[in-house]
Structure 1
């Protein structure tokens, strides 16, 4: 339980407001023009704009399976972070289901192809984000049922609707230690009705499926097992798959059914096995169908079979598991096929282990439909003049995105974990900061590397060009800010000096409008000021009360006092940014939330609008140059979200 925060205190005589974080006082100087009338607990304005989620870049394939489907609407449905995306590739349109509060881990489509079930993990807030299943309508996006809210312990890892009876049942597997499996009459009441529950396996469960021909048959598979369940008279009877004298795999990685009710399984040894309907023994085996694990088995309407494996290959088989000769080799940059599903006509849609969605056929090459980052994401910098932005993260890759075409303009592998990035004021140069203290100067169009520099050996947390373009400030995790003189069209950098004085790592910094001063925050909640040209700390901070700042990315300043919730511990808010032309301030926090405030947010308990979608700490927010859109990045959820910014017509204080 967090300590109740002390109210901010205002000393009118000195013009100092004192706020507390983790019991630590932080002094902030109130600007002269409001010094007489200021009250920290006074009323605050509503934000002058609102957000609408327009586009989500990314897909979760690295650790989730069976999570891409083609709907009759022509949309493909998949998820990333806490958002389910319904993406019409031909029309370049996305719709979003935003009912979840934390990481979505699995997805199932009802036999009627209209209803969808999605399952989530437990979130940060056990009251607000308990693990559960949501059944919703893919046309209206209305939530119909919320299931298992007090039954599921850790996370819904696998889901499937029944098929033989038209989809009246739903089976779910919990990621808790016993991997409990529950069967639900999902449509009974708002919360469904649990018919059965049993311990499924002590080991990881990777997939669950109902038989398409036998209403009472359920198959599960995973580490060290494939299990055949019979669901009868309120009981679940289990028979383990018997491999007899065949090699027993460490993992059974995928399952599917033929139209006659036989089970096909793929395993970590690369073998395909057919198990006869109603039995638990192997009827046929294809050794070495793939080199290594088989992640996906697709049985097509004509009985043909398509498999995808860790070896990067997609292979077509006839109904007797004889190879047809059709093979697709995925380029290594996209990863291995994690899920292969039928698209329109003869099209295949493939989700990969490197968080890509691909579309194509055995005759037309696979092309990316959606690409995303694969590891923690920290760097975001909007282009100063175009509708573009750059992101980069621990997957060592920079992407330049176009917000209008909603595509990647280019990507570049830097070869190192990336922590930060910044465009020059012209947008022609981009600086990339790494976790090793190295920063690189790169042409934003050709991707040519002009130079590289080293400041300490800790991560470069923040990079900022001065408004006049003559200086670059480099904030490091080694507690220092390094200031460079910029020349030759931002291609040459000469170190001016080092700002020393922080007792913890630098987290944020802003330049003054006249390019003379810096303000900076650190990991121990300091707000310090610097004469940039001399690299000297300004100890008389009262002198800085009326300085106008070019940006507002420091989270601890007078202008951002109101973004801190009651009881905040200082690490809650990771990022903030002021719009370029409007009095609007956005923040991203540790709980996956984006909040909008009126700027300056200088009153405690400032009014805000709140938006969900990310399922991890929001690492960065930023507005495009014309404020038409805002971009947010989620750390471990690897998602990038593009929000339309529109004038707010109402002043309601919360939105989901």
Structure 2
């Protein structure tokens, strides 16, 4: 018996196992869900003003399509996941406790701005107006106005008011209020075309000014942030004046260009405001410019570019250069222009004649920064009341510095600067060690239990000389064009790395010394996949030159002999994935054209028939996107091309056998395994901002909680110490790791088992576009408020206002985590301890600060972590679904951030030649509405896709004065 399957557009014949029986439950959605527990990484490409402290302990930043709110002690993360594309800018208003985030333009439709509460990451309002990417955002001091800049041809500046819906008055209104969120608005109160030069960042003054006649004014600065090359320097000060006349409020926007001394900078890289209402501007010429009004006084800080400048306590300035040098300066500057040569890249502390400036290298500020392998280009900063400074870099690193002590506390986040192409996990589950490789030629290590990049280990294959001291970064300089694949030997003592120019390297672990190196492909094609056999004696290497290279390994670790045994050819396209059998004697290959071939690794021959291997036991986990056990994965995604599913991985857990996949729709999907049904159910999750290139299930070892003290009986007045009760071992769990190509994020998902009658932790939410077809009366019944009428005081007339739109939303719940930032520098002595020992030593009901070393030991300084012994599973929050999600049928939900999609069982037959046709017979109303919203027109029992029509909004002239009725 054979099965005719279709992988994308490629039909293939496969043989199922002889004893396999298809059951109805195999096609259902999996009895488990994914809960996002931690997001590693930081988006240094976002607007420089996207890093904010929420309190002395919490801060917010963007990564991928997620807004992350992270606390330092205890370390926790909660997530806002209401965007469909990468977050390009984020701002926060402390007066109202709300965040605003904008995104890049989707493939169809408009980008949008989300306003959400920082305390629970719940979406409140959606602003949809700009036709292109949202460049920058900022609030006024009171949080009543929001300014947004779009990347359309005129770079329109929009002003928004009435940002939040009215709060409920009593419990009777709470349910109706929750049902009315989010409120959607599509017309700002004012808009101005700013010109040809884009402003990639905006920052508002910390206070607003109120005049005697009752009018209030807000001043904010818009600047190019280094993103508008070729246009010249751009810094413009805008003043937004609100004045009341009778029952109307007049809003007026006035702009003035900043005036720089000559010679001035070519670009303004960063701006901030002092407590005295002065604007600090940092230029690419290394100059620091202090503006009073729109006129600047300058001071030379360094010879290179000056990345940021902020005011810190004790009348000081804190500057950061693009050469990873931090400068401390006195606040009391002379008002005449002065010029001096700064220390530049050398980093020596060279004070000026008046002694106001000192400079320190990051690597000389204590702590450790050995998780990077190049000079960090500092480009953003934010300070909290305790003097802790968050420093973001263009290299996607997030650092914590203590300004008062002038030392580096820790590296909070790190990321690759290139596209992440490789993901693997150490075979020893107790190490909780993950590796990622990228097109920038680096390999990074991640501590999954400590939720941090491993300090002290980076492999760099591209740079010729180390910037950091020898021993902190392992350099293997050469002509490597990125890291495409990685794999550990089953013993964990060897690490194989495949490069983009066809080089295969084998390193020892953990010392990362070279064992073997060869150029496998004469055409210098990338090595797309690497697999070790379970026995560790066979290494299979897939190449884009349409060949698979089989190496034999023998000898000990110190004298490993690697020899080429076979070269398999026969694939009609580049080989992308490999799968070895459990005994290592059979190899399966996938290629770019979705061809599936089988080879004998012992004889070196290709296996023509499949009947002899249909019951072959394959190595775990299964990682080939094409094969009989995963044909239902393609049936569930009927519109996919053959290259749209990039990776998959399987586990056998307490929830049964599960299959996870990553695709070009930026989604992670979860299925039952084997997934072979024609109507295969699944759950889908949004969080990544790029095509998902790797997924991997990692086992979480069981951990013993700290012992519980129980008091024994005692006589009156006698003192008896409590007897510790030995706790039971907690059950081992699983986590899914996922990486995407270019969103600079590594995500950890907890695999949560669903009980028989348990609903997924999140209630399904409709995307706000689905309400477009509803009438205004229906919207008013949901609690939406109509837009007030507007009139213009100038010749620029306001466009007709549109009523707000509302959709269903659910409440979000927080999630737990922890770290000590103010502890003394840790000892460098390495004293290993087991997980159970660490848990037993922790005080009851509290956290214990400890030095957490990478499990395989290092000799460098390390940050301090405070943990609770056993990492808890965070409760699920409610996620606001991506606003521009793809046309998928969903009946279950995503939580404060992910989409959980269950496939309605209405998929065409696997071998059908109509991949875009869907049968609507018996489909649920919610599923039909979902399809109709995404441009699928209803027909007689089938559907067809239609192209949506987008309207074009006009642009107002440079000067605009708007009014609105109270």
TM-score (norm 2): 0.62
Aligned partners of 1:550 and 1:454: how far apart in 2?
Answer: 27
Deviates more, 1:397-406 or 1:612-621: 397-406
Aligned partners of 2:268 and 2:284: how far apart in 1?
Answer: 6
Aligned partners of 1:521 and 1:452: how far apart in 2?
Answer: 25
How far does the alpha carbon of each residue in 1:316-359 deviate from its partner, in whole angstroms, 9 at most, with x for none? 23333366334332347350221121145122221112211112
Deviation at 1:535, TM superposition (A): 2.4
Is the alpha carbon distance of 1:217 and 1:355 closer, same or farther for their aligned partners in structure 2, counting shifts above 3 Å?
same
Is the alpha carbon distance of 1:311 and 1:19 closer, same or farther for their aligned partners in structure 2, counting shifts above 3 Å?
closer
* Aligned residue among 283, 302, 311 for 1:267: 283
Hey, what does 2:319 align to over in structure 1? Answer: 307
Is the alpha carbon distance of 1:240 and 1:407 closer, same or farther for their aligned partners in structure 2, counting shifts above 3 Å?
closer
Deviation at 1:587, TM superposition (A): 0.1
Check conservation: 1:334, 1:352, Cα contact below 8 A: no
* Aligned residue among 572, 585, 589 for 2:659: 585
Structure 1 SS opposite 2:642: coil
Check conservation: 1:419, 1:434, Cα contact below 8 A: yes
Hey, what does 1:4 align to over in structure 2? Answer: none
1:356 to 2:406 alignment? no
Check conservation: 1:70, 1:343, Cα contact below 8 A: yes
Check conservation: 2:280, 2:310, Cα contact below 8 A: no
Deviation at 1:525, TM superposition (A): 1.2
- Equivalences for 1:438-457 in 2 at 5 Å? 438-456=503-521, 457=524
Hey, what does 1:19 align to over in structure 2? Answer: 6
Question: What is the RMSD of the two structures over their aligned residues, measured on CA atoms?
Answer: 2.3
Aligned partners of 2:738 and 2:488: how far apart in 1?
Answer: 17
Aligned partners of 1:283 and 1:325: how far apart in 2?
Answer: 19
Hey, what does 1:392 align to over in structure 2? Answer: 437
Hey, what does 2:135 align to over in structure 1? Answer: 157
* Aligned residue among 578, 596, 606 for 1:527: 596
- Equivalences for 1:35-46 in 2 at 5 Å? 44-46=27-29
How far does the alpha carbon of each residue in 1:467-518 deviate from its partner, in whole angstroms, 9 at most, with x for none? 2222110001111110111212463221111110011111111111221111
1:365 to 2:410 alignment? no
Is the alpha carbon distance of 1:73 and 1:239 closer, same or farther for their aligned partners in structure 2, counting shifts above 3 Å?
closer
Aligned partners of 2:556 and 2:103: how far apart in 1?
Answer: 49
Aligned partners of 1:339 and 1:210: how far apart in 2?
Answer: 15
Is the alpha carbon distance of 1:98 and 1:411 closer, same or farther for their aligned partners in structure 2, counting shifts above 3 Å?
same
- Equivalences for 1:171-570 in 2 at 5 Å? 171-187=147-163, 189=165, 190-192=183-185, 194-211=188-205, 212-214=207-209, 215-222=217-224, 223=228, 224-232=233-241, 233-243=250-260, 246-277=262-293, 280=294, 282-286=295-299, 288-300=300-312, 304-321=316-333, 324-331=356-363, 333=374, 335-343=376-384, 345-362=386-403, 363-366=405-408, 367-386=410-429, 387-409=432-454, 410-415=457-462, 416=480, 417-456=482-521, 457-489=524-556, 491-551=560-620, 552-564=622-634, 565-570=637-642
Is the alpha carbon distance of 1:99 and 1:328 closer, same or farther for their aligned partners in structure 2, counting shifts above 3 Å?
farther
Aligned partners of 1:18 and 1:317: how far apart in 2?
Answer: 68
Q: Point out where structure 1 has 5 or more consecutive residues left out of the alignment.
A: 1-13
* Aligned residue among 656, 676, 700 for 1:602: 676
Structure 2 SS opposite 1:562: helix
Count of equivalent residues: 627
Aligned partners of 2:320 and 2:615: how far apart in 1?
Answer: 62
Deviation at 1:64, TM superposition (A): 3.7
Check conservation: 2:413, 2:453, Cα contact below 8 A: no
Is the alpha carbon distance of 1:334 and 1:62 closer, same or farther for their aligned partners in structure 2, counting shifts above 3 Å?
farther
Deviation at 1:305, TM superposition (A): 2.6
Aligned partners of 2:33 and 2:666: how far apart in 1?
Answer: 17
Hey, what does 1:11 align to over in structure 2? Answer: none
Aligned partners of 1:580 and 1:162: how far apart in 2?
Answer: 52
Aligned partners of 1:270 and 1:206: how far apart in 2?
Answer: 20
Check conservation: 2:259, 2:296, Cα contact below 8 A: no
Aligned partners of 1:524 and 1:221: how far apart in 2?
Answer: 47
Deviation at 1:112, TM superposition (A): 2.0
TM-score (norm 1): 0.90
Larger strand proportion of the pair: 1
Aligned partners of 2:292 and 2:208: how far apart in 1?
Answer: 13
Deviates more, 1:195-204 or 1:504-513: 195-204
Deviation at 1:234, TM superposition (A): 3.7
Check conservation: 2:124, 2:164, Cα contact below 8 A: no
Deviates more, 1:154-163 or 1:320-329: 320-329
